[in-house]
Structure 1
Amino acid sequence: MAFDTTILSLTTGSTETVTDLTRYCEDFLARAAQGRDGLLNLFVPHATAGLAILETGSGSDDDLLAALHLLLPADDRWQHRHGSAGHGRDHVLPALIPPHATLPVIGGQLELGTWQSICLVDTNRDNPQRQVRLSFLG
């Protein structure tokens, strides 16, 4: 068994984003997995961001943000009230889009479906600095 881990640091900016992490994961696995089978675990150590597996580039990422606006409006209904208006909803986001994901790795390669990508979902406009821990166990 081998274990390797790294921290990916990202700047998501001042807008709500869905950031594709697939390439970063593949680069990490090329070094860490070395052709082995195992698991890739991703973890976001933030209270206002999550990880989603979805199709990107076809509008699904924008659809996800639109759906989150319907489910979690950025208004003053939230009891958690520091930061930008509606920021309380950002603290509810990880209950719907979890801050973790575990994916199979076969022969050192991610086993994603044809259109699947690993994405960081960040609706918190107040904190553009994000980290994602990537860990390979195999």
Structure 2
Amino acid sequence: MFITHDQLILQTQRPIDIIDVTAPIRTRFENSRVLDGQVFLFSPHTTAFVCLNEKEAMLQQDMLDFLERLAPPETAYRHNQEPVDGRLNAHSHLLGLFMNASERIPVAGGRLLLGAWQSIFFVDLDGPRPERTLHIQIIGAQ
């Protein structure tokens, strides 16, 4: 059984930033030489998440528009009355109720079993941030 851990350090540019991390995850997976197992991804942040979805520019803009409508930042949230770190980010925490801190991708025959249209995204709901972390654990047989 082979187990490895790595981190992807990201810098986000926008208040809500959807970053395609498929290529660096795939590279780390290929370097592991795991044939059967899984890739486990985890975001240790309360306002940044990981998800699988389709990479298409218009859809990504729809995602941003949807998230901004779902929890507008300018609403009078209680959490923003006394922010812990000075950030008015209640809307980011509320949006996080609908997202996942982790994803598990199966591996078989030396391939990540992503669907034909699936990409891996890191979604920061409270940017911009100079540093965000995505943990990558690869487990399996080589």
- Percent of residue pairs bearing the same amino acid type: 29
Partner of 1:94: 96
Partner of 1:20: 20
1:77 deviation in Å? 2.6
TM-score, normalisation: structure 2: 0.87
Partner of 1:55: 54
Q: Could you say what secondary structure the match of 1:73 adopts?
A: coil
Partner of 1:79: 78
Partner of 1:8: 8
1:101 deviation in Å? 0.5
Q: Which contiguous aligned blocks of 4+ residues in structure 1 show a shift greater than 3 angstroms?
A: none
Alpha-carbon contact 2:47-2:96 (below 8 Å) kept: yes
1:108 to 1:78, Cα distance in 2 relative to 1, 3 A: farther
Distance 1:91 1:8 in 2: 22
Distance 1:84 1:4 in 2: 34
Partner of 1:120: 122
1:93 deviation in Å? 2.6
Q: Can you list the C-alpha shifts for 1:39-83, whole angstroms capped at 9, x where unaligned?
A: 111000111111111111342222111111121111233221134
Partner of 1:105: 107
Alpha-carbon contact 2:79-2:90 (below 8 Å) kept: yes
CA RMSD of aligned residues (A): 1.6
Partner of 1:46: 45
When Rg is computed on C-alpha atoms for both structures, the one with the higher figure is 2
Alpha-carbon contact 1:84-1:126 (below 8 Å) kept: no
Q: Could you say what secondary structure the match of 2:97 adopts?
A: helix
TM-score, normalisation: structure 1: 0.89
1:135 to 1:26, Cα distance in 2 relative to 1, 3 A: same
Residue 47 of structure 1 aligns to which amino acid in structure 2?
T
1:113 to 1:69, Cα distance in 2 relative to 1, 3 A: same
1:95 deviation in Å? 1.7
Distance 2:122 2:8 in 1: 11
Alpha-carbon contact 2:22-2:119 (below 8 Å) kept: yes
Residue 98 of structure 2 aligns to which amino acid in structure 1?
L
Unmatched 5+ residue regions in structure 1? none
Distance 2:122 2:50 in 1: 5
